[in-house]
Amino acid sequence: MGRILKYVFYDLLKTRFLLFYTLFLFVSTFAMFQLDSDPNKVILSLMSIVLMVMPLISIVFATIHFYNSYEFIELMLAQPIDRKVVFLSEYLGVALSLSSAFLLGTGIPILFYGVSDSAVMLLVVGTLLTIVFVSLAFLSSVLTRDKAKAIGIALLFWFYFSLIYDGLLLWVIYTFSDYPLEKVTLALVSLNPVDLGRIMMLLTLDVSALMGYTGAFYRAFFGSYAGLVFSVGILLLWIFVPTYFSIRIFSRKDL
């Protein structure tokens, strides 16, 4: 597995898109620090990239890569190599390369201008969300042999978690506003990795003061050690569950 993973990882690092992606993150982060002297405002601006742009890039890039590597995957499977090993090598190669691009592109300017708690949380949430959407991309890819359908499913995942789910959540909160919904909202937020990452970052920036009683409840929960462990644990579940089902489908799939 190590040799295949190393080949996939180094091959991805040479791609122009990944180099451009790293440069885009580096220039964007550096420019924001140049335009604003308040680090918290910069992190708040970078949050939009982490929560919207990065998941889209991760899920589309991973889906396209899977189909572009189909011949390589078939060649590896013609050898006496377990399917799980080939799949995990491809998956980890994409996840590690995209995570490295994010950490380098965003982390270097942050180190240059000074590390803060909110900056560390940005890097943690960004890395976890990148791997989450790579997992969803591989799940989309193994569901169908048609590349166009797989990209459509992947974009539907992104569209649902980034845009549609928030509207449904607001509708629930508005409809049942007469009832105490803090714990229910907490459960609903856990069903969306993007919302979970957003709350973790907002609480680190202390913007929760603008959220009233609900913000106080979230700060009491997510601001504690147990809340942090819960948040990271849920995001890890969002990584492992799609990957588990992807491996099961891929292992039984007729290529």
pLDDT tens digit string along 196-207? 888 888 777 765
Low-confidence ranges of the chain (pLDDT < 70): 177-182, 206-225, 254-255
Structure-block tokens of residue 129 = 């969300």
pLDDT at 223: 61
What is the model's pLDDT at position 134? 96
Q: Which pLDDT score is estimated for 255? A: 64
- 83-94 tens-digit pLDDT: 898 899 999 999
d(Cα 58, Cα 48) in Å, to the nearest integer? Answer: 15
**Predicted pLDDT of residue 177:** 67
C-beta of residue 133 within 8 angstroms of C-beta of residue 236: no
User: Which one, of 59, 43, 38, 48, lies nearest residue 107 by Cα?
Assistant: 43
Q: How far is CA 29 from CA 32, 44, 110, 237, in A?
A: 5, 11, 8, 29
pLDDT value of position 62: 94
C-alpha to C-alpha distance for 165 and 185, rounded to whole angstroms: 12
pLDDT for res 226 = 72
Q: Domains in the chain: how many in total?
A: 1
Q: How many CA atoms lie within 13 A of 245 on its CB side?
A: 13
Question: Can you give the pLDDT at residue 209?
Answer: 46
Q: Which residues lie closer than 8 Å to 133 by C-beta, 6 or more apart?
A: 54, 55, 58, 59, 62, 157, 158
State how far the Cα of 82 lies from the Cα of 255, in Å rounded to an integer. 14
Q: What's residue 213's pLDDT?
A: 45
Write the single-letter amino acid at 228: L
Contacts for 232-238: CB closer than 8 Å, 24+ residues apart? 232/124, 232/128, 234/190, 234/193, 234/196, 235/128, 235/129, 235/132, 235/193, 235/196, 235/197, 236/128, 238/132, 238/135, 238/193
Q: Which domain holds residue 184?
A: 2-252
